[in-house]
A and B are shown apart, each in its own frame.
Chain A
Amino acid sequence: MTKVVARGPIARWTRQGLPVLVIMLAALLAWYLGAWLLNAPAAIERVLPQDGAWRWQDLLVATMEMQRPVLPAPHQVWQDFWSAVLDWPLDSPRNLLFHVAVTAESTLWGFVMGTLLGLVLSVCIVHSRTLDRALLPWIVASQTVPVLAIAPIVLVILGSLGFAGVAPKAVIAMYLCFFPVTVAMVQGLRSPQRIETEMLHTYAATRWQSLWLLRLPAALPFLFPALRVGIAAGLVGAMVAELPTGAQAGLGARLLTGSYYGNTVQIWSALVMSALLGLTLTTVVAGVERLVLRHRSQA
C-alpha cells in the first residue's frame, strides 16, 4: 500500500510546488475571466460605440482597461500597486508603503505589548490558584466572543483621554494579541510532566528557576502558534482601528478612501498590500520560531 515518495529537489518541486503553481495560474485565469464577465455590461454601455459596431476583441480590450471597473483585471491592480509604491516619495500619503508603515507600526507595538502582557499574566495564572480558577475561564470564554467589536469603544475612551495617533491602534492590536497568547502560554507552562517538575524539586530549584529552566522552554512550542494567530489578529485590529479616525493614514484608511471615491483599483491594491503585510508578519514570526526551536527534535 505504501507509495514510494521520490526524493531530490526536482521531485519535491513537482510534488509540492507544481500543484500550487497550477492553482495560482488557474486563479489568475479565473480572475481575468471574472473581470471580463463582470465589466462587460458597463463596457458595452459606456466605452464601446453605441451603434453596436464592435467586435468581441474590442469588448475584451475595453473590459481590461476600464477606468472604474467592477472587478479590475490583475494587470491593472499590478500597475496601480507599483505606481503607488514607486512613483511617490516614501513620506507622501499617496505612497502605499507610507500606509503600510503606519499600520505595521501600530500592529507591532500592539503585538509586543500584548505578548508581554500575556506572558506576565500566564505566569501569574500558573502560580496562583485563585487567578487560575477565577480569571482563566473568562479569558478562555472570550475566545468565543467577537472582542474586535470593542474597538470603537477603545478609540472613544482613549480619544477622550487625549491619546491620538499610534496609541489607540496599538491598544486594540494589543488586546487582540493578548487573549490567544495567554491561553496558549498557560497550556504551555503546564505542559512539563510531573516527573520533570519533581526532578527540579529534588534539585531544590526555586520557583523562578523551575520557571526559567523548565516551564518557559517547555512552553515555547505552544507560544509560537499563538503568536502567529496573535499578529494576524493584531493586523486586523490595527486596520479596523484606522476606519473611524477620519481616514488619514494606514491601510484601513486607504481602503475606506478608496471606497468613498469609488476607486476600485486603489481598493484592490490596498487589499493586495494588506495581504502581503499579513504574510510578511507571519513569516517573520515563523522564521523566529524556526530559529529558536532549531535544536528541538521533531516530535
Chain B
Amino acid sequence: MKPATRLTVMLIVGCLIGGLALMQFSPTAGEEASPVFWLATLVLALLAVQSIRRMAAVDSGRVYGTLTAALFGVWVIFFWQLLVVALDVPRVLLPPPSLILQSMSTHGPTLWGDFVQTVLKAVLIGWTLGSVMGFSVAVAIDRLPFLQRGLLPLASLTSTIPLVAVAPIAVMWFGFEWQSKAAVVVLMTFFPMLVSTLAGLKAAGRLERELMHSYAAGYGRTLLALRLPAALPFIFGALKVNATLALIGAIVAEFFGSPTSGLGFRISTEASRMNMPLVWGAIVVAAVTGSLAYAVLVQLERRAAFWHPSVRES
C-alpha cells in the first residue's frame, strides 16, 4: 500500500469513527448545542470533504468510483441526521433519517400492503401488458410501411403529452382499485415500447440481411434469427424507461383517487396529515423499487444480449 493510499484510508476511517463519536455528543431535543459541538462538526465536515476529494482522486477501476459515490451518500445522510437533530428542525420540514427508518419499521405492514397494491398489482401488470402490447403491435405492423409511417409520428408525439392526466377517466371506467392504475400504466408504457421496437427492427445491418436472403431464409426466419435479436438493446432500453414511467404513472394515478392503500395514496394522505416520516418512508420504498427494477433489467439485458457491442464494452 502506497503512503498516499494509506493516508486516504486512515482519513476515511478516522472520519467515520469521529462521526460516530460526535453522534454520541449531539444534543438531545430541547438542549442547546455547545460551541465545542459546532466546532467539532465543522472540523468533521472539512475532513469529510477532504476524504471524498482524496477518494475521488484515486484513478483506478470502477469500484473506486462506486465507493466514492457511496462515501458521499453516507456523509450526506450523516450530516442530515446530525444537523436536523442539532438545529431542531421541525419534523414537517425535514425528518431525520433515523426517524424515517423508525417509521418504516413501525409501519412495515402498512408499507408492505402499499407495495403489493401499487407495485405488484398496478405497476407489474400494467408494465407487462403495455410493453407486450407495444411490442406486438410493432411486430404486427412491421410489414405494413403505410401503417408505420402513420403511427410512428403520432406515437413519438405522445411522449410530449401528460398522459398521466387520463387517471381521472381511468378511475371512472375501471373503479378505484388497481385496475384503473394499471390502465394508466398500460397507456404510458405502450408508446415507448412501440417506437423503440420499430426502431430496433430496423437496426439489423444490410449485410446480415442479405446473408439471410442468400440462405433463402424467409420473413419469419429472418425475423427470429436476425432482426429480433438485433432489436434487443432497443427493447431493453424501452423496458427500462417503462419501468420508471410505470412507477410514476401508478403513483400519480393514485393521487387522483384510490382505495385505502398504495404508495401514492400513502404519500398524498400522510402528507396532508403532516406525518412526514411515513411519507419519506413510502418514497424510500418507491425509490428502492425503481433502482432494483432497473438493476434487474440491466442484468437480464447482459444475459440476453451478451453478444452486443454495447454490453461487451461495459
B267 contact from A149, A229, A275, Cβ within 8 A: A149
Q: What separation, in Å, do the CA atoms of A282 and B149 have in the docked complex?
A: 21
Q: Provided the pairs A134-B52, A157-B94, A282-B160 are in contact, do residues A146 and B248 lie with their beta carbons within 8 angstroms?
A: yes
B69 at the interface (CB under 8 A from A): yes
Residues 86 to 125 of chain A near chain B (Cβ within 8 Å): none
What does the 1/0 interface line of B134-154 toward A look like (CB < 8 Å)? Answer: 000000000000111111011
Q: How far is the CA of A274 from the CA of B169 in the complex (A)?
A: 14
Contact status B160-A279, CB under 8 Å: yes
Q: Once bound together, how far apart are the Cα atoms of A274 and B94, in whole Å?
A: 33
Question: Which residue of B is nearest A258, CB measured?
Answer: B168
Tell me if A196 is interfacial: C-beta within 8 Å of chain B: no
Contacting residue for A271 out of B165, B172, B264, B287, CB 8 A: B165
CA distance A181 to B224 in the complex (A): 38
Per-position contact with A for B50-62: 1 when CB-CB < 8 Å, else 0? 0011011100000
Residue of B93, B159, B240 touching A232 (CB-CB under 8 A): B159
Chain B stretch 236-252: residues in CB contact (< 8 A) with chain A: 240, 243-244, 247-248, 251-252
Query: Is B161 within 8 A of A274, CB to CB?
Result: yes
A148, B248: Cβ atoms under 8 Å?
yes
- B56 in contact with A255 (CB, 8 Å): no
Chain B residues within 8 Å of A268, by CB: 169
Total contacts A to B, CB within 8 angstroms? 171
Residues of A within 8 A of B52 (CB): 130, 134
Encode A17-53 as 1/0 by CB contact (under 8 A) with B: 0111111100000000000000000000000000000
User: Residues of B within 8 Å of A, CB-based: how many?
Assistant: 66
Please report the C-alpha to C-alpha distance between residue A135 and residue B294 in the assembled complex, in whole angstroms.
19
Contact of B252 among A143, A240, A262 (CB under 8 A): A240
Beta-carbon contact of A259 and B244 below 8 Å: no
Q: Which of A262-299 contact B (CB under 8 A)?
A: 262, 264, 267-268, 270-271, 274-275, 278-279, 281-282
List which B279-308 residues lie within 8 A (CB) of chain A. 279-280, 282-283, 286-287, 290-291, 293-294
Task: Output the least CB separation between B204 and chain A (Å).
Answer: 14
With known contacts A20-B153, A24-B154, A138–B69 Cβ distance under 8 A:
yes
Q: Which residue of B lies closest to A16 (CB)?
A: B149
Is A244 within 8 A of B272, CB to CB? yes
24 contacting pairs across A/B (C-beta < 8 A): A19-B148, A19-B150, A20-B154, A21-B150, A22-B146, A130-B57, A134-B69, A134-B72, A137-B65, A145-B291, A152-B279, A153-B283, A155-B271, A160-B90, A229-B159, A232-B159, A239-B165, A244-B272, A255-B165, A256-B168, A264-B172, A267-B168, A279-B161, A281-B160
- A269 CB, nearest partner CB in chain B, Å: 12
Question: A124 to chain B: closest CB distance in Å?
Answer: 13
Q: Given the complex, which residues of B lie within 8 Å of A243, measured CB to CB?
A: 255-256, 268
- Judge whether A259 and B168 touch: CB under 8 Å: yes
**Which are the 4 A-B pairs with shortest beta-carbon distances?**
A19-B150, A259-B168, A23-B150, A134-B72
